[in-house]
Structure 1
Amino acid sequence: MKRLLLNKVLGTVGDSINDTEYAVLMDLIEHIEELQNYSIREAAKNNFVSTSSISRLCGKLGMSGYSELKFHLKNQYEFLLANQDNDYSSMKQTAHQLKVLFQENYSKTIESLDEKSLDTFIGYLKESTHMMVCGSGISEIIANYFTQRFQIIGKDAWLVDLSAPGGIYMNHLSKSDLMVVFSRSGESSYILKKAKIAKRQEIRIIAITSSKESALGEIADEILPIYGSKEPLDVSFNITTYNSIAIMFVDLLLQLYMEGMTHRLKG
């Protein structure tokens, strides 16, 4: 059960914590039964780190401090114990864990949205006559989904082919007034190259990413954040919900766009 708890916590941060912080987290979970009386100074001493290092770990996990982290770990551990079922297969246990994690992270995504930025983006979509959509790796799959969903309802949307000759890109760029960029880390060199060219052409750029403080975030006109790891790839084999939430986020944007268009027609 402690291993399940560790995977559940890591699923919210991916690989954004370092090896030392990982060791501290493991130590806290190992002391879960007596965690209430396990002080930050004792934890720091046992892991050969400073108390400020543990405080930084708390921040990465979205906690205000050590006390909140202890409460969160204890609460999550008791939840797992209360919901364990010996009749569950390994598959069902994993599926249940993923469902709970998805619900938590999707809620955090919605809570982190700035409604003004969201309204601005929907307004840009309504005004756009030719929209480019860009992504690389798994984000390209999500970008393709976004493109096709909006093409189906009649939007002039084009998926950027990162491997295509520059002349093709510049031709589409000359007709475009909006660029939607999907990038988990916001640091992909392929994406940044295309976005910077679009920026020089004074094209509006919308970034959909897990990292506002990224190179992409710096040049974007609006940022729509998705809660999740900032790592470009999930190489830790921990459960991640970022890509699933990104797909659902596309559907949310489509629904908001359609509602806005309906109100415009009625008006």
Structure 2
Amino acid sequence: MKRTAFSLMTVLLAVMNESEPGDPYYVLAQYLLYHFDQLRELNIYDVAEACYVSRSGIRRFCQSIGFDNFSDIKAEAEEWQRHCNYFIGYSARPHYKDYLSQSITAMMEEINRLTTPAVLDKLVQRIHDSRHVVLFTSDFSGMAARGFQQSMVVMGKLVLIVTDARYIPGYLQDLTPQDLLITISATGNFAIMMEPLIQKTAAYKALVTVNHDRRFWAVYHQVIYLSEKDNANARTVYSQYGTNYFFDILYSRYVQRYLDDARTQGPYAEPVLSESTKNRLQKRLE
């Protein structure tokens, strides 16, 4: 199985968000989301009829979102229950507003303790000195990455975001030791699943997480913890707010160190394309 998507639900939502209503892929994504709780029982013939597409069209759709075929998508049926537990279980607690505000305050204090000037400066300098900077994250956690990406433009640094919804494995393999790959994986699950891809890149690798699994130190040059305890496999404020807070801190540190450089550096240097990238571009044009 070619599975490359970290979460079927987030990939389907990404297809809806990026497609026009009435587009076959939009219709298929919408249908599967509406019937996610019945995914195991779905029949490809019924889906084809309901969505006015062919079975070969469904297969192409599956491959476009990182699955070999419709059976592979059906195999993700248990994801529905995981999402129910993850979202509803977390939000249904009593006095939720009090719990949330207290948790966010404690989280910010903890991140402040862990992200010392030395920790931030190490990553900030690497961002500044790297030829290419890539943020690798699940589409679910992409909001913090997008905010950081936009803010870095005015500092003269273009940052690429690669997600499981529309990721480019060939691009990751083209990265060199002069490039930087930052994986954002609050619980660590995304980093674990994408480990084979991450190991193939020659870039300097950093991980932002709350997962204290020591396996990450064999893969990454720098692991930045957002919590002192291992908070893997549970929804916490770190997943929703921690990465946003961290990247705000990181950006502030970058501005403090390199604002003068950004004002004087002038236009962006033209990127140099690798031979493998040129070959892929040529194939797309043929």
For the aligned pair, the TM-score class normalised by the smaller chain equals: 0.5 to 0.7
- C-alpha distance in 1, partners of 2:205/2:231? 20
Contact kept, 8 Å, 2:216 with 2:223, in 1: the verdict is no
Counterpart in 1 of 2:237? 240
Counterpart in 2 of 1:141? 143
What amino acid does structure 1 have at the position aligned with 2:169? G
In structure 2, the CA distance between the partners of 1:225 and 1:175, relative to structure 1 (3 Å rule), is: closer
Counterpart in 2 of 1:42? none
Deviation at 1:205, TM superposition (A): 0.9
Greater RCO (Cα-Cα under 8 Å, separation 6 or more): 1
Deviation at 1:192, TM superposition (A): 1.6
What runs of 5+ residues in structure 1 fail to find an aligned partner? 1-89
2:109 is paired with a residue whose SS is: helix
Deviation at 1:98, TM superposition (A): 1.4
- C-alpha distance in 1, partners of 2:136/2:262? 30
How many pairs does the alignment contain? 170
Deviation at 1:215, TM superposition (A): 3.0
- C-alpha distance in 1, partners of 2:240/2:217? 19
- C-alpha distance in 2, partners of 1:133/1:144? 9
Q: Does 1:191 align with 2:215?
A: no
Q: Does 1:167 align with 2:170?
A: yes
Deviation at 1:170, TM superposition (A): 3.1
- Give a deviation string over 1:219-258, Cα, whole Å, max 9, x none: 2211221127633452xxxx63442121011111101100
Q: CA RMSD in A?
A: 3.2
TM-score w.r.t. structure 1 length?
0.54
What runs of 5+ residues in structure 2 fail to find an aligned partner? 1-91, 264-286
**Among 178, 181, 191, the residue aligned to 1:179:** 181
Contact kept, 8 Å, 2:188 with 2:232, in 1: the verdict is no
In structure 2, the CA distance between the partners of 1:157 and 1:165, relative to structure 1 (3 Å rule), is: closer
Mapping 1:1-267, distance limit 5 Å: 93-162=95-164, 163-164=166-167, 166-171=169-174, 173-174=175-176, 177-188=179-190, 189-198=192-201, 201=202, 203-227=203-227, 230-234=231-235, 240-262=237-259
Deviation at 1:190, TM superposition (A): 3.7
Q: Does 148-157 or 245-254 show the bigger shift? A: 148-157
Contact kept, 8 Å, 2:186 with 2:210, in 1: the verdict is yes
What amino acid does structure 2 have at the position aligned with 1:182? I
- Give a deviation string over 1:184-215, Cα, whole Å, max 9, x none: 233434432232112xx2x2111111123343
TM-score w.r.t. structure 2 length?
0.50
What amino acid does structure 2 have at the position aligned with 1:105? M
